[in-house]
Amino acid sequence: MSVIDILTALYFRVLNVWPDQPKHPDRDRFVLSKGHTACALYVTLAKRGFIPEEEISTFLQPHSRLNGHPNCNKVPGVETNTGPLGHGLPVAVGMAKAAKLSGAGYHTYVVTGDGEMQEGSNWEAIMAAAQFKLDNLTLIIDHNRFQQGAALAETNDLAPLRPKLEAFGWEVTEIDGNNMGEIVPALERRGSGPHCIVAHTNKGHGISFMQDRVEWHHKVPSKEQYEIALAELSEAL
């Protein structure tokens, strides 16, 4: 729920992609580095026309291609396999650098979690992106303040993130990551180097008993809880 607004903005406003040609060479690249939010990506891909909407009900079922982490060999629209945290941003830097080397015009976007930013591989990638002046790269950090088992502040608190990215030579925008009016302009911004969006979001956004509760990092709602959540989201619309 913290990332779904960002995914919606990307796939329905920002990304140049063609569901009937998922490997079109001119497509923009999107990497979901926080691969454990795969279900949100699958729903977005289905609504955009990459996969059938009825297939969503097979999520995590035996023999389903909709695994708990996205698989580029099975699901159209998935650019690279992710799951082990700290891998997606380095891959995205490689994609953006490849575009520079080949003269391609596509833009690369990558979403990481804030807990995931504790991985050292991300900061090596951040250094490389600044060195290569990758103005065709946008990093979105889903800053919902929680990771599995605890709040970010209780583990290895990286906040505030903005000055750290700026110290590495990145341009940084801070937004309300659950507000479409702020998400879209930030995603469409272009500068002279790599751009990071620190998206302040809420885990379980819009659902009273889920929001900002660490146990909902992986908890599955009951039928009754699902119905309450759906009613609350419908009322908000």
pLDDT digits (tens, 9 = 90+) for 98-141: 999 999 999 999 999 999 999 999 999 999 999 999 999 999 99
- For the residues 175-197, what does the mean pLDDT come to? 97
Q: How far is CA 62 from CA 58, 74, 223, in A?
A: 8, 14, 21
Peptide bond into 160 cis (omega under 30): yes
CA gap 41, 3 in Å, rounded: 9
> So what's the pLDDT on residue 6?
98
Q: Tell me how far apart the alpha carbons of residues 4 and 198 are, in angstroms, rounded to a whole number.
A: 15
- Straight-line distance from the first to the last Cα atom of the chain, in angstroms, rounded to the nearest whole number: 15
Q: Is the pLDDT of residue 222 over 90?
A: yes
The CATH superfamily label for domain 4-205 reads Thiamin diphosphate (ThDP)-binding fold, Pyr/PP domains (3.40.50.970)
**pLDDT value for 237:** 81
Predicted pLDDT of residue 133: 98
The whole-model pTM stands at 0.96
Q: What is the pLDDT of residue 165?
A: 98
Instruction: Name the pLDDT band for 218 (thresholds 50, 70, 90).
Output: confident
201 confidence band (pLDDT: 50, 70, 90):
very high
* Helix ranges restricted to H, the chain: 4-9, 38-48, 88-102, 120-131, 162-167, 180-188, 223-236
Q: What is the rounded average pLDDT of the residues 78-98?
A: 96
Question: Which residue ranges make up each domain of the chain?
Answer: 4-205
Contact 114, 87 (CB under 8 A): no
